[in-house]
Every structure is written in C-alpha cells, then in structure tokens.
Amino acid sequence: MFDKFHDEGGVVAIYGHPEASKMTYLGLYALQHRGQESAGICSSDGAEIHCRKSMGHVAEIFTTQALAELPGKLAIGHTRYSTAGDTALLNAQPFSVACNKGKVAVAHNGNITNAIELRAELERRGSIFQANSDTEVILHLVAHSSERTLAGALRDALLQIEGAFSLVFLAEDRIIVARDPHGFRPLAMGQMELNGHTAYVFASETCAFDLIGAVYLHDVEPGEMIVVGPEGVTRERYAPERPLAQCAFEHVYFSRPDSIVFGRPVQESREMLGRLLAREHPADADVVVPVPTPAWPRHWYIRRVRIAVPPRADPQPLRGPHVYRALPGDSRFRRDAEAQRRALPAGRQARGAGGRFHRARHHQPQDRAYDAAGRRARSAFADFVSAHDFALLLRRGYTDQARTDRRQ
C-alpha cells in the first residue's frame, strides 16, 4: 500500500506578530520540501479565525491578496505530504471548527496510529467527520472532553492518541503546541523581538526561523505542551517520560541541511554518515552520485575514498530536499542548461564565499545565528551550491554578484 517514505508535512505557528499570516507564509515557504501536496494557514484577530488552504505549493496559494484576508497577530500553517487520508482538498490542513471550547484550528506533523479505532468510537458517540485524515480526530476528542478549558481538553485528547505527532493548535487568543511523549517528530521554538515586545515562533525545522529573522531557543520537549497567550508562556508535561524514539530519517532525508533538528545540525549528521560509510564500505569507483538529493554524505565519502568529484548529477532542490530538475525532453531544459553554462565562472567564485552566498540563498541576511555549530553547518552547506542554483539566484537578483553585474 505504501511505496514511499511518508511524513505528515511541516507546521508553523506564530504568536504576537502584527503580520502573523505573512510570517507563517514565509515559514511554510522554507518548509516546502516537507510537503508539496497542499498548504493552509489559519489566523486569529481575537474574535474570528480566518482560514485559507488549497492544493499546490505555498507560493502559488498565498498571494498578496490571499494573505490580506488572514488578519491577526496569531496564525498557524501547514504544508502537507499525506500519510493518512486521500490526496484531496478536504484533507488539507489546518482543520478549523467552532465547538463548545470555542473557535479552534489544528495542524499536525506525524501519524496517529490509533486514529481508526478512535474515529470508530467517536462516530458511535455521534461525531460527524468531514475528512478522512487522522488530524480531524484530535478536534473531535477536544470537543468531547469534559474539561472546561481548551488546554485541559487538549491535554485530555493527547493522552488518548498514540503515534508520532508535533501539533500546533490555534484559539482566538492563544497558541498551544505539543509533541508526542517519544519525541518522534521535531518541533522547535524561537522568538522575534519587535519594538519592545516578543513574538514567539514554532516550526518543524529551524530553517523556517532563518527566513523570518527569528532566534532559535530550544526544542519543545517530548511529552511537553506549551501554551502562549495573554498571560505569557506556560510549559507543562502532559505525559510521563518515555523512552526517546527520534526519527532517524529527519537527519537522513526529510530535513533541510541548514536546519537544526533534535538539537543537532543536520549537515553535521550527514557529514558523519559519509565518513562512517566510507570507513565501513570503501569502494573502488569512478563516480559517487547521491540518490536522492539529500544524500549529501557523498561529499565526505568521496574525500575518504579519494574518488574524483564528478559534476553534480542530483536533482535541483526546491527550497530544501526533493524536487525535480528539467529533463532533455522538457521545454525548459535548454534554457536552464544555457543558464548553468553562463553561471559556471561566477558559481566557482560564489562557492568560496560561504556564509554570504548562503544568506543570498535565503533572500535576506542571517545575522542572528543560533550558535557556532549552527554557523559552521550553514557555511558547509553553502560550499555545495551548484552552478545551476547560482544561475537561478542571478536571474532573481538575490546575490551580491548580481548587484555588482548591474552596476557594471
């Protein structure tokens, strides 16, 4: 039934920013690699929850007009790669309802393993489901809870579900986030300083913080629930401590190399994988090709076994790991190939510019780095940028080299 890796996508939550929906959009843009099926944003202006979601990529869905229809200082967003439920708009997240706990919306990254059993029990109790995604089960559990407060009802719901999840919940005046007791899926917390007050940000990967200028604080702990509201930030453990079970494929495949996931730079993990692979399985080969694109360890494998570095043969990333590059039969192939040829000399210069080039790749300066390890990880990733990627940046005017060319 399942013929590929499955990840429920990426989530973003913003509290206390006057342009929360725009910041959420940028965060989802940075997390596009985690899900390319559909995307959605829900925002709250204190009285109403406004939602917009559609099939397709983030940049296609959230135009300037669409974002103008999502007012408020609170927002959550989701980009979906289906694990449960059909590929259809009705399963696009976030889900929003008005229930006895007020107006709420929810999005989550992961897979609830007992969703079928919970859904059957809820339907016997009179619940009516509109989609077939496991995420909708969470909302019904909250609505059925006998707890009076939203945080209490969510805590009650979380104790009933099993599996892997990092969840973001939006109410009219607060954001609630939670992570499963085993910590299988990542969820990071950051903050932004805005004219004397602090906005809080949550995301599946820290690369979302880079794009909006947020500072990474720490991960949401396994089994922890964080409530951010008018009273401030409240942290609590909703479930007893359990054995840690972090998903290895977050570092191998799902995450972007410039992210910090589970407290460790992804690039650092992939470099170590390359070293270990070369040590355990040295090869007498002419070429080493990464399949799929996130297989960056080939760089360190090549160094260890002393294989000549071939021209880059892996697909072009789409703001992260996996997407496709034009093939010879595609009408765009000739144009992209010509752009790559023209950019080769400039690409060689840019690869030596490390951090500066990495900053250009993310459309804005990244002056607030997490720490020394994070800076090293991002600089290492910058050295791998292909001439093809540099050509795209040149055409969009995002590099120092492009501005120099225009002045000349």
Cβ-count burial of 372 within 10 angstroms (0-12 exposed, 13-18 middle, 19+ buried)? exposed
pLDDT in tens, 347-402: 444 444 433 333 333 333 333 333 434 433 333 333 334 444 444 444 444 444 33
Q: Which two tokens stand for residue 312?
A: 């880059």
pTM of the model: 0.73
Q: What is the pLDDT of residue 324?
A: 33
Q: What is the pLDDT of residue 186?
A: 95
Mean pLDDT by 10 residues, the chain (408 residues): 53 96 94 90 94 91 93 94 59 87 90 91 86 84 90 93 93 95 95 92 95 94 96 94 90 87 88 81 74 57 56 43 39 48 46 39 35 38 41 42 36
Q: What is the pLDDT of residue 293?
A: 57
Domains of the chain by residue range: 10-237, 264-324, 330-408
Q: What is the pLDDT of residue 305?
A: 58
pLDDT in tens, 220-269: 999 999 999 999 999 999 998 899 999 988 988 888 888 999 999 988 88
Q: What is the pLDDT of residue 290?
A: 65
Q: What is the pLDDT of residue 88?
A: 64
Question: Which whole-number Å values give the CA distances from 195 to 4, 16, 256, in the listed order?
Answer: 46, 12, 31
Asked if 400 and 292 touch (Cβ cutoff 8 Å), the reply is: no
CB atoms within 10 A of CB 112: 25
Asked if 108 and 138 touch (Cβ cutoff 8 Å), the reply is: yes
> For the structural domain made of 10-237, what CATH number should be given?
3.60.20.10
Sign of the alpha-carbon torsion through 81, 178, 144, 151: negative
CA distance between the termini of the chain? 57
Dist. CA 353–CA 355, nearest whole Å: 6
Q: What is the pLDDT of residue 385?
A: 40
Dist. CA 15–CA 213, nearest whole Å: 15
- The H-or-E segment that residue 76 falls in is strand 74-80
